[in-house]
Amino acid sequence: MHLVTNQPGLSAQPYRTALDELRMERAFSRIADSDLRHGNAVRLLRNSKENYPAWLDAIGSAQAVIHFENFIIADDATGRLFAEALMERARAGVKVRVLYDWLGSSFRALPAFWRRLREAGVEARVFNPPRLTDPFWIRRNHRKLITVDGRIGFVSGLCISDSWEGGKEAEPWRDTGISVEGPMVADLDAAFAESWVLAGMRAIPKSDLPRADAIPHAGAVAARLISGEPGMFRTYRVDQFIAATAQRNLWLTDAYFVATTSYVQALGEAARDGVDVRLLVPGSSDVPALQPIVRAGYRSLIEAGIRVFEWNGSMLHAKTAVVDGRWARVGSTNLNLASWATNWELDVIVEDADFAGQMEAMYLEDLANATEIVPGSYSRRRRARNMRSRRSPRFKRGGVRRLAAGALALSSSIGKAMGSRSLTATETSSIAIIGCALLALAVAITVFPVVIIAPIVIGLIWFGLALLIRSLHLKRRVRLRRRKLAIRRRLSKIKDEAASAGE
């Protein structure tokens, strides 16, 4: 069968390729529920040393509106630095709206911290505090977003805390963010406006929310925003789609990797199809109880052909992906069910070869400070022999794109040069910890059954009361509507009678 193009000088193959690209774009838009924005300038920002100064510079330059949304805003040196910058702008007449999550921030910043902000003119609002009428308070706003004057925006995995800065005794956390200029800033502001309303505030005036078509192009980068919401699974669908369509490489970095079985299967199928699938996770976590669970899942990943690496530095908090030297994802979504299904999250998909090249180069730098988990023993002598059998590629001048083109070949040599740890040794300690935890739980249930049963009973009572209260609210609404309708009918009747009498 021959493909007819109906266009002179256009061969069948380029036409078919263009058609496939169009179909891919339409599929991506449907899955992400987001349009691709062209004409942006996107800058990769690594760690707090690059992110925080860029954020503070943008805040300091604000003339009209600042939207600031973050999961953690702590009352420490870093938090107070940002608080001063926001208060200074509010006193200068800039509209400053700050949205912080109750679970993430309330225990890190006491009410006096927020009161100080509000007294300076900052509109600070807490997101989803516990309420008797809402037992679903566990759903968190995990987004990290800043926009300034509808001109520049930032999306990242970084929160506002000294943990990301480090100190004398602690290294700074490893994390990744981006700055965005161009039409996509309108999407960032729209995402903030939705969160603002969900937090119980009045809708933000349209004059404070720019239109995408009114923002001039700032570059040539295409990108789309993925707004994760509870129950929507947008980012999960995107992650599945990317795993299914990756052709060359899929390199992931995640802070709290506890993926679903179907996602692990998708990664494994990609690896079996020849895709270079890699996962970089923390070697030590700020949530110690999670680490044995993450490590217990290594075997299924490695047996499926996925290379697993553990970061050797302090906490690795980044949530990124880079695919085929074409797509890259940066944002707040972790590869676990809480992020995919129950949280409000925010990620940016960048479709640009140069940016993807920068992400690949950064990934290889991170792997140089990581340990690969390998099946069985892997001696230094064997690694050295593999190194000698490979020749590192030589790069010609030409910038990031050519560096990215050779990254895949170079990465194998780097991977063998790094230290490695046996999967069996890693599993042994993880399984032992999980086993001890289960035994301890069994003992606790036996000796103190009330301690285990009480939270369940409290939860059932909470759900029951919440449903009853919601039912009463609904009945009141129905009664109010009926009263309003009756009043309207009476007024209409009185008008009709007055009109008849006048005639």
- Residues taking part in catalysis: 142, 144, 149, 317, 319, 324
Count of C-beta atoms within a 10 Å radius of residue 503: 5
Amino acid at 99: L
For residue 117, count CB atoms less than 10 angstroms from its CB and return exposed for 0-12, middle for 13-18, buried for 19 or more. Answer: buried
Contacts of residue 457, defined as CB under 8 A and 6 or more positions apart, other chains included, come to none
Distances from the Cα of 193 to the Cα of 62, 69, 124, 422, angstroms: 18, 10, 14, 48
- For 332, the 3-state DSSP assignment is coil
Q: Are 175 and 48 in contact (CB under 8 A)?
A: yes
CA atoms of 160 and 102, how far apart (whole Å): 14
Q: Identify each DSSP E strand in 117-242 by its residue range.
A: 123-127, 145-148, 152-156, 176-181, 221-228
Which residues have C-beta within 8 Å of that of residue 499, sequence separation ≥ 6? none
Question: What distance in Å separates the CA atoms of residue 145 and residue 156, rounded to the nearest whole number?
Answer: 7
Q: Residues with Cβ < 8 Å from 152, sequence gap 6 or more?
A: 58, 179, 180, 181, 185
For residue 105, the one-letter residue type is: S
How many other CB atoms are there within 10 angstroms of residue 283's CB atom?
18
Distance CA(76)–CA(57), nearest Å, equals: 20
Picking from 192, 212, 86, the residue whose alpha carbon sits closest to that of residue 145 is 192
Q: Which residues contact 373 (CB under 8 A, 6 or more apart)?
A: 298, 302, 308, 309, 310, 420, 421, 422, 423, 426
By three-state DSSP, how is residue 378 classified?
coil
